[in-house]
Chains A and B, each alone.
Chain A
Amino acid sequence: MNTTHITIRGLTKSFAGQPLYSGFDLNFPRNRITSVFGPNGCGKSTLINMIAGLMPIDSGEILFDGKRLHETVIGYVFQNYRDALFPWKKSIDNIKYPLQIAGKSPAECETRTQELIQSFDVRFDLNRFPYELSGGQQQLISIMRALATQPEVLFLDEPFSALDYEMTLFMRDKLQAIFQATKTTMIVVSHDLDEAVYLADEVLMLTRRPTKIAEVVEFKAARPRSPGTLTTQDFINAKSHCLDVFQREVRTKELLK
């Protein structure tokens, strides 16, 4: 069953008179991880920010199962965890915050938080303030916070780009495990093609601005994927195909200049 979760129709957005998106149509599949990849400045982050309601759109329609954003529970993981977490709250209270906003009782908040701690197998002290934790631990708190309200869609904007390589590998697998357990629809913006393909069921390749869909590349390797996946023929094929699309996009535009 592969149905559509998010429908975008006629999306238009300009910056300073320059069109970035113009009459843009797109579907995001349900219960899948979609990676968004494209040249610099093509508006990858802008796209998910518009879908998540963090940036206004000029015109068009974005629906989640036919519902509008304010009727939909979403989660968002920012690239810069240091700026996104609340330093005045203990880590555990950061995780509880969206539950409190949703009007849950203290008991419900506690139960849900304990559930998250169990499923993430957190061993470090959540009574510490975020700035007392390592980068990876902080981003883990961010992800737990984004998942606390059991969102229908989880957005991740270059979630691991500020982490070191070891932590990145660990966090990718954590994210994958969460996905396998919850099947939450996820949209990941990435500037690392390896990561984009490794995490994704579908890689959404975008063109240079004005942005169009260059191609949607499927990657069907079974989960859980492991670093071994990175050397399989399937992975290499998918990645080199993505690379071809990407280079074609970059080159065509250069010729036009």
Chain B
Amino acid sequence: MAGRNYVKLLTPAYGAIAFIFAWWLIAFLQLVDPVLLPSPQDSAKAIWVGFFQGNLFSDLKVTVMRTLAAFIIATVVCVPLGLVLGSSVQLYRSLEFVIDFFRSTPASALFPLFLVILGVGESTKIAVAAFGAGLLILFNTAYGVMNARKVRQAAAYVMGASKSRVLIGVTLLESLPQTFIGMRSGVSFALVIVIVAEMFIGSTDGLGQRVINAQMIFNMPEMYATIFTAGVLGYSLNLFFILIERYFIHWGGK
């Protein structure tokens, strides 16, 4: 019995172990130029050195702060806006094209525009990331509101709840599962934009700048270490949101 439980517990780790083993094997057999693909040990060492002797941690911190700043701005602006848009189907339909258009426009294409308006600096990176994340949050919240169960709103209404009370006490909560999907996609999207901005928009710090610098001086272990750190960051953000979701929206899908 105990043995079987171990097998079950380790199941999610098999893929990761197989991946690292394959990487190690390819590096060990030198199937790829060792300059391009350092071994897992060398990359792990680069992470260790980066964190404890270099400034990988401060770069990580900067990227996290930018991503969170963009995400918070997007949430504070777009959740209330989505709520209002979603409660009036006619209003949403009239703005749907504009929202869909800008959502489909690659946010990175807006960098030059934001550079002209805001100049080279923190605000441009955060603004573009917030813009992209905000649209995701906006239309998800609006959809959540539009698809809110009418019976629940009717139940509150028949008990004498005012319009604003139904909106805040019922519709907002009804839309939360969908809003959270928007927030989760939004934070991932903000991270993508922040990393790209750090690479190409006059940055002196952040994970994006670190990746591109390592690539320019052909420091491959350092580059892999940074990519891996960015991956862990993205994964953690996603996991963090899933856990919050499970806690706050315990009724989701029920």
Contacts and interface: CB of A to CB of B under 8 A. Distances in A.
A129 B250 contact: yes
A186 to B, nearest CB: 15
Give chain B's interface residue range (CB within 8 Å of chain A): 10 to 19
Given A84-B151, A84-B152, A88-B173, A101 B161 contact: yes
Contacts, number: 50
B155 interface: yes
A145 B152 CA distance: 13
Contacts of B165: 101
Contact of A86 (B152, B154, B157): B152
Interface residues of A, number: 23
Given A88-B173, A129-B250, A131-B254, A83 B151 contact: yes
Contacts of A149: 159
Given A101-B165, A149-B159, A80 B151 contact: yes
Secondary structure class of chain A's binding surface, majority of residues:
loop
Contacts of B173: 86, 88
B151 to A, nearest CB: 4
Nearest to A148: B159
A74 interface: yes
A41 interface: no
A120 interface: no
Nearest to B154: A54
B76 interface: no
A60 interface: no
Interface in A47-104: 52-54, 73-76, 78, 80, 83-88, 97-98, 101-102
B151 A98 contact: no
B154 to A, nearest CB: 5
Given A86-B170, A88-B251, A131-B251, A78 B161 contact: no
B163 interface: no
A76 B158 contact: yes
B159 A87 contact: no
Contacts of A98: 159-160
B154 A129 contact: no
A108 to B, nearest CB: 16
A74 B159 CA distance: 7
Nearest to B165: A101
A84 B160 CA distance: 15
A74 B158 CA distance: 7
Contacts of A131: 251, 254
Given A80-B151, A86-B152, A54 B254 contact: no
A158 to B, nearest CB: 13
A84 B155 contact: yes
A178 to B, nearest CB: 18
Nearest to A72: B160
A80 to B, nearest CB: 6
B93 interface: no
A145 B170 CA distance: 16
Interface of B: 149, 151-152, 154-161, 165, 170, 173, 249-251, 254
Given A80-B151, A84-B152, A145-B159, 13 more contacts: A54-B154, A54-B157, A54-B158, A74-B158, A75-B158, A83-B152, A84-B154, A84-B155, A85-B155, A88-B250, A97-B156, A101-B156, A149-B159
